[in-house]
Structure 1
Amino acid sequence: MRRLPLLLAATASVALLLSGCSGTSGAGSTTTATATSTADALSGDLAVSAAASLQGAFDKAAAEFEKAHPDVHVTANYDGSSTLATQIIGGAKVDVFASADQANMAKVTDPGLASDPTVFARNTLVIVTPKDNPGNVKSLSDLSNPNLKVVLCAPAVPCGSAAQTLLSNQGVKVTPVSQEQNVTAVLTKVETGEADAGLVYVTDAATTDKVKTIVPEGADKVVNSYPIVVLKGAPNPAAAKAFASFITGPDGQKILASFGFQKP
């Protein structure tokens, strides 16, 4: 009979040990659940306005971002940076703005609609002609030939501003048959033979096998810097910050490099 208290005490000790182990396991499970919850916390629609030249790279980036955050749906609007800036100033509901130059980004940041943009890529211009090069274009100076149909981006668009700077630096005067609102439109007119030549970004020329590419003298001196920013009135600020960080981070930079963009 004297052994019974000892047996009961031993049983109680084992119970306490098991309770302690169970408590530790529970805490570990709670920590894991919290981490998972945090990782999957992003959700909802994400509106991204990006320069037309970013379409290929940003489509791939958006797909990768959605894989990492299945509850987020990215909707991208691609156009000339000046057009996008005007839309944002006019009240368009946008989370992230990625411009092809800093001048059009300033149109958004100067009124206080966003602040502290980050440059995430750089780009330069090339001459493109139809594959058979009917105008026999060999250099930038050839674009001054009045018999050639040359298309450029409009001066307000980053690719147009860069084209004007390049032409001015090289002392070349060009009278374009049309001035387009984005670089994609310039490339399309050359691809289809509506134009004999045009100036587009290196990255755009690399998206097609329907054009011949010529690197003009002085192109390396006219470099467009691409900034990205989260809008202060972003409908989905958490996802917007995460997407901007993705673009400027190693995964986003790898995608941009694969499309020919230079490092910031």
Structure 2
Amino acid sequence: MTRSARRTSRMLQVAGAGAAALLALSACSSSDSDSAAKSGSPAKSDSASPDKVSGTVTVFAAASLKESFTALGKEFEKQHPGTKVTFSFGGSDSLAAGITGGAPADVFAAASPKTMKIVTDKGAAAGTPATFVRNQLEIATLPGNPDRIASLKDLAKSDLKVVLCDRTVPCGAAAQKALDGSGIELTPASYEEDVKSALNKVVLKEADAAVVYRTDVKAAGGKVEGVEFPESAKAVNDYPIALLKDAENTAAAKAFIALVRSPEGQRVLSGAGFLKP
């Protein structure tokens, strides 16, 4: 065999080996693709990421949570672009009645276990409510405390116009508990539907004083002056929060509750004057 013939033979052998390798690689790739197709996933799969929180989450919350929850709502929307938090603030008893009556809501934050029980007894809560903060009463007076109110007993003076929250709402029930425990009889000028309404009577100078939460006194700034009283220590309210059974946006609702209970959420609430659970 000539040198030229031998060179041609070797070239044909190399070409054949290359073709065989290409065929094997193609078969292997085809096998991987077929396997992936049968399993419904790509050949190279990454671990599944959690569902993105989106849409609107509707929160029913006690009136005393208005300032702190509004701030947390803005933070939630910042953390989850495209989401929106809508609030309904009011007396916990009215909110609970609305929920059990079919009002659409995802989360309920009440100012007392008793009002939360209205919801849980009707099977409207998903899971067990968790206490996330506590709140204590304080007397709100006109700026400068012109009537020199220094104690709970002072509210019984006949020349003072005092307002209380209705006894069916947590702030009213707590105030009555403090009064009863001290043996003080007080006939208020009016009973208000929630703590903000009671506070506003003083802000508008329609009342000399009101028994409200210290968080509301703090939120009012210089519009009122707060007077602490020791009897309030025996009438502290626990605040429970719960995911609702008929929530339309469960993922966002759980994420909002997680923010409220997180260290960040607790800092906002503590800054507003709430006590740790």
**Structure 2 length-normalised TM:** 0.83
Residue pair 1:151, 1:178 contacting (<8 A) in 2 also: yes
Structure 2 counterpart of 1:99, one-letter code:
A
- Return the match for 1:101 from 112, 125, 143: 112
Find the counterpart in structure 2 of residue 241 from structure 1.
254
| Cα root mean square deviation, aligned | 2.5
Structure 2 gaps of 5+ residues are 1-6, 30-41
Residue pair 1:130, 1:192 contacting (<8 A) in 2 also: no
Question: How many Å apart are 1:67 and its aligned residue?
Answer: 1.2
Measure, in 2, the Cα distance between the counterparts of 1:221 and 1:238.
37
Find the counterpart in structure 2 of residue 146 from structure 1.
158
Aligned residues: 252
1:118 lines up with 2:127 in the alignment? no
- Return the match for 1:220 from 215, 233, 248: 233
Task: Describe the superposition over 1:155-191 as per-residue Cα deviations: whole angstroms up to 9, x where unpaired.
Answer: 0010000000011111211110011111011111111
For structure 1, which segment, 213-222 or 178-187, has the greater mean C-alpha deviation from structure 2 after superposition?
213-222
CA separation of 1:27/1:101 partners in 2, compared to 1, >3 Å: closer, same or farther? farther
Find the counterpart in structure 2 of residue 90 from structure 1.
101
Choose 1 or 2 for highest CA Rg.
Answer: 2
Structure 2 counterpart of 1:154, one-letter code:
D
Question: How many Å apart are 1:217 and its aligned residue?
Answer: 1.8
Question: How many Å apart are 1:5 and its aligned residue?
Answer: 2.9
After superposition, residues 11-90 of structure 1 pair within 5 angstroms as: 31=46, 34-35=48-49, 38=50, 41-90=52-101
Residue pair 1:155, 1:161 contacting (<8 A) in 2 also: yes
Measure, in 2, the Cα distance between the counterparts of 1:27 and 1:119.
47
Measure, in 2, the Cα distance between the counterparts of 1:139 and 1:125.
12
Give the 3-state SS of the residue equivalent to 1:77 in structure 2. strand
For structure 1, which segment, 173-182 or 234-243, has the greater mean C-alpha deviation from structure 2 after superposition?
234-243
Measure, in 1, the Cα distance between the counterparts of 2:222 and 2:184.
27
1:164 lines up with 2:176 in the alignment? yes
Question: How many Å apart are 1:246 and its aligned residue?
Answer: 1.6
Residue pair 1:146, 1:175 contacting (<8 A) in 2 also: no
Measure, in 1, the Cα distance between the counterparts of 2:176 and 2:43.
64
CA separation of 1:72/1:139 partners in 2, compared to 1, >3 Å: closer, same or farther? same
Structure 1 counterpart of 2:58, one-letter code:
A
Task: Describe the superposition over 1:70-128 as per-residue Cα deviations: whole angstroms up to 9, x where unpaired.
Answer: 12211000001011011111110010000000000000001111141000000000011
Measure, in 2, the Cα distance between the counterparts of 1:173 and 1:92.
38
1:129 lines up with 2:138 in the alignment? no
Question: How many Å apart are 1:240 and its aligned residue?
Answer: 1.1
Structure 1 counterpart of 2:46, one-letter code:
T
**Structure 1 length-normalised TM:** 0.87
Question: How many Å apart are 1:27 and its aligned residue?
Answer: 8.0
Structure 1 gaps of 5+ residues are 21-25
Find the counterpart in structure 2 of residue 187 from structure 1.
199
- Return the match for 2:217 from 205, 217, 220: 205
